[in-house]
Amino acid sequence: MKGLESKLSNYVPLVEFLGSVLGSHCEVVLHDVSNIESSIVAIKNSHVSSRKVGGSLTDLALQILKEKSYLEKDFLINYSGKTKDGKVVRSSTFFIKDELGNVAGMLCINMDVSSLVETRNHLEELIQGVRAAAPGGLNLEGKSLDAVVNPIEDLHTSIEDLTTSIIMKTLSEVDVPPDRMSPEEKMRVVQRLSEKGVFLIKGAVAEVAKHLKTSEATVYRYNSKIDQ
């Protein structure tokens, strides 16, 4: 464990360095994945997401841990995310691994591209206006960047927000409200939540039970069936 802590501590100065070099629009975060609920051990330019030291992992990071996709890749680059207050970010993550290839930490860079999205949208509106006024009047439907961007990561400020967000997002994928779901439908929701890594979070079973309008014992039973 001491070796693991030492490995992560070597990256703390890098957080400060990268944050200073890349500028105030780039948030740099160091996560210790051994503590999901309080994984953030260092952060620079925290105003981007309003997170702070002691904050939790993200929904994407949970899924990475659950699927162990870090065994196949050393990093992920240029994926989209959004902050709690709606900023659009372009993110990249480097996996810090131990000698066995297991992930010990994650070094993440989140670039606030909200102003670029807004500028792109204004330019597209102007371009569409020029095209419509041109001879022959091309009738083209342009897509603004924020309509194309599909965030795959949410940067939440608390573990409670993260848990609730994953549950609500999963429930939104089902057409039937929880109080009308069959046991089979509820078990499929639990399976999907398990795939997203939500049960790695302490207290998640109680939250899932509350949203599914069922008992904690039932959620545990669904999980045991899924694991068989």
pLDDT for the residue numbered 64: 94
Residue 89 has pLDDT above 80, yes or no: yes
Higher local confidence (pLDDT), 209 or 6: 209
Residue 51 has pLDDT above 70, yes or no: yes
| Average pLDDT score over the chain | 86
Give, as one character, the DSSP assignment of residue 186: H
d(CA 63, CA 113): 24
Other Cβ atoms less than 10 A from the Cβ of 29: the count is 28
Residue located via tokens 């309080």: 38
d(CA 6, CA 3): 5
Q: What is the pTM of this model?
A: 0.78
CA 125 to chain centre: 30
Residue 91 · residue 57 · CB < 8 Å: no
The residue among 40, 67, 33 whose CA lies nearest residue 196 is 67
Residue located via tokens 């979070």: 201
Out of 3.40.50.700, 3.30.450.20, 3.20.20.140, 3.40.190.10, the CATH code matching 2-113 is 3.30.450.20
Give, as one character, the DSSP assignment of residue 11: T
Domain map (residue ranges) of the chain:
2-113, 115-148, 158-227
E strand segments, the chain: 26-32, 40-44, 75-83, 88-97, 103-112, 153-155
pLDDT for the residue numbered 144: 40
E strand segments, 51-102: 75-83, 88-97
Q: How confident is the model at residue 119 (pLDDT cuts 50, 70, 90)?
A: confident
d(CA 84, CA 228): 37
Positive or negative, the CA dihedral 197, 188, 217, 177 is positive
d(CA 154, CA 166): 9
- SS3 assignment for 103-136: EEEEEEEEEECHHHHHHHHHHHHHHHHHHHHCCC
